[in-house]
Structure 1
Amino acid sequence: MGLPKLTTLVRELKAENPHLLLLDAGDTIHGRTFTNLVKGESMIKLMNVIGYDAMVPGNHDFNYGYTRLVELAEQTANFPILCANVKKNGKFLFQPYFIKEVNGKKIAIFGLTTPETLYKSHPNNTKGLDFIHPSKAAAEMVTELKKQADFIIALVHLGLDAGSEYTSEQLAKEVGGINLIVDGHSHTRLPTGKMVGPTLIVQAGEYNKNLGRVEVSFTTTNIEMRASLIAKEETANTSEDPEILRLIADENKSQENILRTVIGETTVELIGERQLVRTGETNLGNLLTDAMRILSGADLALTNGGGIRASIARGEITLEEVLEVLPFGNTVVVKEIKGADIISCLEHGTAKYPEANGSFPHVSGLSYIIDLAKPAGQRITDVKVNGRPINLTQTY
């Protein structure tokens, strides 16, 4: 729906009920050129104006390196960036929680981010940090906060993917005393939330397509929660906030000379849709890996589908579009590895197939077949390098 419309909705909701908390569940300040070129600052400034009360860092928010994220938290954000399970030298890297009184009730909010960040952002971005198991950190938070608050919110970037080691559902099952979990990471759309025991988990999908809403009522004997989503389709007649429009336009103008540079053209749409690049081959994945192989002079090339973040429409290709497809600043590396290790890489990347997963391998100079009748780890067959059967002992 876009931030200008989201801002209008938030202000309308605050006018109806001033007892409102606005929270963000992470992966917020990286991924679009609007934020990438200034290392997250533009998004934090917009969030200040919109009136956010707190956010939790997602794995991609560490993509500029944790020192940049700390800098934004301390010098730019007018709201706390919360995280209770990341430490450096035994001390919290971010503020772990805060308590706010809302209409006479004390609401405690603490943050948790996924330990998957250690490998879902470049390892150098988190070097020297300790990621504590979310359930362990949450249990400590609840023990401390239940004495001080009437209602406890876990603002988390954990997700609900079945293949993840850490999930918000696991958190709800393992740690009692959390009333509400506001979740991100898995891009899951929960129209009315998900109850796990007495804990409500909410998640609003992806890419600002929905604004999640939870109404909390305190009765004499109970706490009632009702979750809903305001979908993009419902905002067709919602006006765009003029101040946010102006701020976005000013930032875009300062970047336009770089971003509008035309670097090529395509006669077909280049497919980078999330669901497709995480489950199979696409023409954009082929183009990227072909370029990697040809320009590096390697025998073959491999990249993961999770690193392909957007499609490119037919016509001229601008630098902005390329940066949206490849926002992470990754570097092509050439290594010599044995044929057996190549097969291990393919087994790892396809272990969750046909489930969509960011590890799905896009390749060039290489072909393979996935045999779903076999167990994960033994599925890859008929591997060929440049049309010839792979040699398990040969170095490529």
Structure 2
Amino acid sequence: MKSIQKAAYILGLITLVSCNKNAYRNSEISGKRIPVDQQIKEDTAITNFIQPYKKHINATLDSILAFNPTSLSKTDGILNTAIGNLMADIVMEQASPVFKNRTGEDINMVLLNHGGIRSTLNKGNITARSAYALMPFENEIVVAELKGSRIQEMLRYLEDAGTPHPVSGIKIQVDNNYKLTMAKIDGREIDSNRNYFVATSDYLQQGGDNMNFFKNPVTLYNLDYKLRNAIIDYFEKVDTLDAKIDDRYIMID
């Protein structure tokens, strides 16, 4: 009998709820900004807990990897900069053996973006922290196999941009109006019937900075190699950086 009464009670509740047609809405939502500043008292227990890890991380980031004989900034050139050339050449040097081992193919060129250079490299000792400042993002190096026609799209993009996007493995000349007068990869004119292997970042390959010519490549290879890690690896193996503005992307009068 008790079970029947219990069932009837539950049924009554269900009926009551189902018959309630009222729609409930929030009448007001309020919030306030809580600043994270010196007014918030330090939690000594947390500070003491993280201190050993903080000390270890700082020691790693501040370890000297190489020496830079001159300050480098992305504003130092018109169509190519020493720091941009350095970054593109690093990708070429560090990614090429990885790609070769996996595919048997060679990387033909590198294209990065000017906006992706997030810091200067000051004169003096270079550390892992310098690399994190230069490339704070988690971008991976990828290699896109592109048809020659897509390379032509890339060149038109660079014409319109008129910006020193870092390149390596390609030589480009433009006139005073930034119109292309010459472009060569591996010392040869671009062949529309040939495919080229172009190393870049996963961000750009997905259309970042409107580089849509990277989308839907013939084949896409992810090297599982962060751009920042490639920079650190390069810094570790050289004693002194050698970065300069050259003739890889220039304007001809």
> Per chain length, whose mean CA-contact separation is higher, i.e. which structure has more relative contact order (CA < 8 Å, sep 6+)?
2
| Larger helix share, 1 or 2 | 2
Structure label with greater radius of gyration: 2
